[in-house]
Amino acid sequence: MVNVASTFGRSGTHDYILLRASALILATYAIFMVCFLVATPNLTFEAWTGLFGTLWMKVYTLLALTAVLVHGWIGIWQVLTDYVKNSFGRGVLQFIVSLALIVYWLTGLFVLWGV
Amino acid sequence: MKKLQFSIYRYNPDVDAKPRMQEYTLEVDEKQDMMVLDALIMLKEQDPSLAFRRSCREGVCGSDGLNMNGKNGLACITPVSSLKGKKVVVRPLPGLPVIRDLIVDMEQFYTQYERVKPYLINEDKTPPARERLQSPEERAKLDGLYECILCACCSTSCPSFWWNPDKFVGPAGLLHAYRFLADSRDTATEQRLDELDDAFSVFRCHGIMNCVSVCPKGLNPTKAIGHIKSMLLSRAV
């Protein structure tokens, strides 16, 4: 058993499930957005606010942003533990990336709040 | 007569400041083919300082795992004619520390192998008088697993093992781990899975299948790793 404290899930299996589940949410969200853009040739401000003004779209977008947070956190941790062998450097990079992911999530929350 | 060109990794830490590639030429009959190991043995007659491991010379012992023209394999069962290119480039197995020339230090590989407890654990207090029987179906589950000869071709072709040889068990070790997880006579399934349930030991495998591509015995460690992941997932959800 290899014990590490810096990853997201409680165990390797937990991380694996979170990674796959968040990927699934992001994939459906990306497909939905592409379909919306294709189906809306005249992309006006009203069209955007109409889409993001609905409750289900706010929930779906926040879910997708949470998936970005979880997926990015675990994914970057995996990449950094592969390629950055200096633990101080790895810690600093993980801190910066994790902070950025949390900022994205909070920004998304407040943007959606205002629509 | 034709001339076979070889470029071989040379490094003697007692003498050399850094590794180098040395060029060799071997003259053989026009229609003659040979295994890379035969060629190395002939080259060693030219240059006795060339060091490499070999033992059974027929793909059974796993001693002569090497990187030939960029792909890992056993030198004793790799025909020179099967290697594309103008010359044969021979290097030690990647990722492991080089002791000398083509000889690598396999300690990290064996440490990971040891971690998976590659032996039968049965805590039955009343063992049968003669032997533990298996049905033909139970025995068939071990096919494709027990044949591994620990040549390390798979683990040393795996980037996850290169980056984390101290934490990721590697394809060879995990193939053996599954060999005992799948064994109906083994009673330590939960303990074995507990030992593997972290972010590195199994889950650092991203399924790129280099191990399958290089295994000289035609085994499929990625499939075994998939089974271990399924076992870990099915007890977690």
Are B98 and B113 found together in one domain? no
- Examine the pLDDT at A6 and tell me if it is beyond 70: no
d(CA B113, CA B95): 16
Running DSSP on this structure, what letter comes out for residue B25? E
Residue B75 near residue B68 (C-beta atoms within 8 A): yes
- Cβ distance of B198 and A17 shorter than 8 Å: no
Element (H, E) at B8: strand B2-10
Residue A5 clears pLDDT 70, i.e. is over it: no
Strand partners, B37: none
Q: What percent of chain A has pLDDT over 70?
A: 97
Taking residues A32-37, report their average pLDDT.
96
Predicted complex ipTM:
0.85
Q: Is residue A26 part of a domain?
A: yes
Q: Determine the 3-state secondary structure of B23 from DSSP.
A: strand
Q: A107 touching B, CB under 8 A?
A: no
Does residue A49 belong to any structural domain of this protein?
yes
In a domain, A52, yes or no: yes
pLDDT score of B71: 97
Are B13 and B94 contacting, i.e. CB atoms less than 8 angstroms apart?
Answer: no
If asked whether residues B113 and B48 sit together in one domain, one would say no
Domain match, B158 and B50 both: no
Separation in Å, CA of B55 to nearest CA in chain A:
34
Chain B residues lying within 8 Å of A82, measured CB to CB? 159-160, 163-164
CB contact under 8 A, A7 and B199: yes
Query: What are the pLDDT digits (tens) for B169-215?
Result: 999 999 999 999 999 999 999 999 999 999 999 999 999 999 999 99
Is A6 domain-assigned? no
Sheet holding B71-74, edge to edge: B20-28, B2-10, B87-91, B65-68, B71-74
- CB-closest option in A12, A17, A78 to B202: A12
> H helices within B26-126, ranges in order?
36-46, 107-115
What CATH number should be reported for the domain holding residue B88? 3.10.20.30
State the residue range of the domain holding A28: 12-114
Structure tokens that stand for B143 in this block = 């096919």
- The mean pLDDT value for B153-165 works out to 97
pLDDT at B23 over 90: yes
List the beta strands (DSSP E) in chain A. Answer: none
Structurally, chain B folds into a number of domains equal to: 2
B115 and B48 inside one domain: no
Q: What residues of B are in contact with residue A83 (Cβ under 8 Å)?
A: 163
Q: How big is the A-B interface in CB pairs under 8 Å?
A: 55
pLDDT of residue B195: 95
Cβ contact, residue pair B167, A2, below 8 Å: yes
Same domain membership, residue B213 and residue B111: yes
Q: Indicate the average pLDDT of chain B.
A: 96
Cβ contacts of B115 on chain A, cutoff 8 Å: none
Sign of the CA dihedral running B228, B229, B232, B235: negative
* Residue range A61-84, pLDDT digits in tens: 999 999 999 999 999 999 999 999
If one counts the domains in chain A, the total is 1
**What is the C-alpha to C-alpha distance for residues A69 and B183, in angstroms, rounded to an integer?**
40
Q: Which residues, other chains included, contact A36 with Cβ-Cβ below 8 Å and sequence gap of 6+? A: A51
Mean pLDDT of B103-122: 97
Residues B115, B223 share a domain: yes
Whether residue B69 is found in the same domain as residue B7: yes
Taking CA atoms, what residue in B is nearest to A6? B199
CB contact under 8 A, B232 and A1: no
- Domain boundary at B80, B104, B128, which? B104
Domain closes at, from B78, B104, B130:
B104
Domain range for residue B16?
A: 2-104
The pTM (predicted TM-score) of the whole model is: 0.91
| Pair (B27, B89) in one structural domain | yes
Task: Please name the residue that has the structure tokens 């977008």.
Answer: A61
Provide the CATH number for the domain around residue B116.
1.10.1060.10
CATH of the domain at A73: 1.20.1300.10
Looking at the structure, tell me whether residues B73 and B149 fall in a common domain. no
What pLDDT, on the 0 to 100 scale, is given for residue B82? 95
The one-letter amino acid code at B210 reads N
The answer to whether B236 contacts A12, with C-beta atoms less than 8 Å apart, is: no
Alpha helices in chain B, H assignment, sequence order: 36-46, 107-115, 136-140, 159-163, 171-181, 189-196, 210-214, 221-236
Asked whether B169 and B115 are in contact (CB, 8 A), the reply is: yes
Averaged pLDDT for residues B110-121: 97
Q: How far is CA B20 from CA A13, B15, B83, in A?
A: 43, 12, 21
Q: Do B197 and A12 touch (CB under 8 A)?
A: yes
What is the arithmetic mean of pLDDT over B70-95?
96
Average pLDDT rounded to a whole number, residues B95-108: 97
User: Is A13–B233 a contact, with Cβ atoms under 8 angstroms apart?
Assistant: yes
